[in-house]
Amino acid sequence: MGASLRPICQIDRGTRHSKGMSRAQVRAVVLALIVVVTVSWSPESGLAQDMAAAAPGSASPLTVVSLNLEMREDVGRIVNGIREIGADAADVLVLQEVVQVEGAPDIGSQIAGSLGLDAAYQSSFKIDGGRNVGLATLSRFPIAHSRALPLKRFSLIFRSRERSALAVTLDTPSGPLTTYNVHLDTRINGGDRVDQVADIVKDMEAAPGRALVAGDFNTNENLWLFHTIPLPFLGRQGSGLERYMASHGLRSAFERGATHDTLRMRLDWMFLRDLQPIARAIHPMDISDHHALVVTMR
């Protein structure tokens, strides 16, 4: 994975032809050149997003990472993978498929301990070996409040699971920020997926302010018959989800980019409200079958 530098601000081409500039103008040009932001690029994802202009005097940027851990339990390897892409410097990590062995701290809290972060964990369902799987949100800012938000349940014939979002309110230097960490069902169609997300949107609309929704939405291009039989490429779930979220003031941080190598599916999303992305990247990971979403925003 490589890295490139791109300026947020560009100098007007006409500047070089001017006969002279005032000291204030020279200072403004120099500052514009100095202000740069690093954007990671991975050939596997084919993504190197352009950045939006940063407003003068805006609040300090914050970086959020979303990643499905694929139920891995090797904390040391997970932490190394996070560090390899520089995500250990992120302000917030939103993790899905986080394992908790009964009688021991969940994997998310153990990762937080290694990185010096606070953590909130919510169990979603049980698997074999006395293990639970759930959601974890790690933060460099104090966690003011966290709670589970139950989502609509579907009977999937087999492996039906309780789904919920982990809502966490953070005390950032720029004021409160609410994050919703999600992991939705796979074998549901576009309308059902919107119904599951609608519980989050309704909760957000009751509490205006800066917020984001991130995680594994499991959007796929299948049309599911009886929640069991996939008809490939008839679903178009991603575009429907994006339209629904946009209609409620939630903008996707990414315009394109696969987040899973299988059929180059786009399973993972990050939606923002009252937040402006200034840099974003998708990183394939050795520790997961999902790619990590990394977004820096104001």
pLDDT tens per residue across span 72-122: 999 999 999 999 999 999 999 999 999 999 989 999 999 999 999 999 999
Contact 292, 65 (CB under 8 A): yes
Question: Structural domains in the chain?
Answer: 39-297 (3.60.10.10)
Asked whether the predicted pLDDT for residue 51 surpasses 60, the reply is no
Q: CA-CA distance, 170 to 210, in Å (whole number)?
A: 10
Summarised one tens digit per residue, pLDDT across range 150-175 is 998 776 666 667 778 999 999 999 89
pLDDT at 232: 75
Give the three-state DSSP class for 9: coil
Angstrom CA distances, 244 to 126, 175, 237, 267, 286, stand at 31, 27, 11, 16, 32
Q: How confident is the model at residue 60 (pLDDT cuts 50, 70, 90)?
A: confident
Residue the block writes with tokens 């996707």: 252
Between CA 35 and CA 213 the distance in angstroms is 28
pLDDT of residue 40: 37
The answer for residues whose C-beta is within 8 angstroms of residue 77's C-beta and 6 or more apart is 287
Q: pLDDT band for position 28 (50/70/90)?
A: very low
pLDDT of residue 73: 95
**Structure letter (DSSP) for residue 22:** -
Q: Tokens for 112? A: 């937080």
Residue pLDDT, tens place only, 114-156: 999 999 999 988 888 889 999 999 999 999 999 999 998 776 6
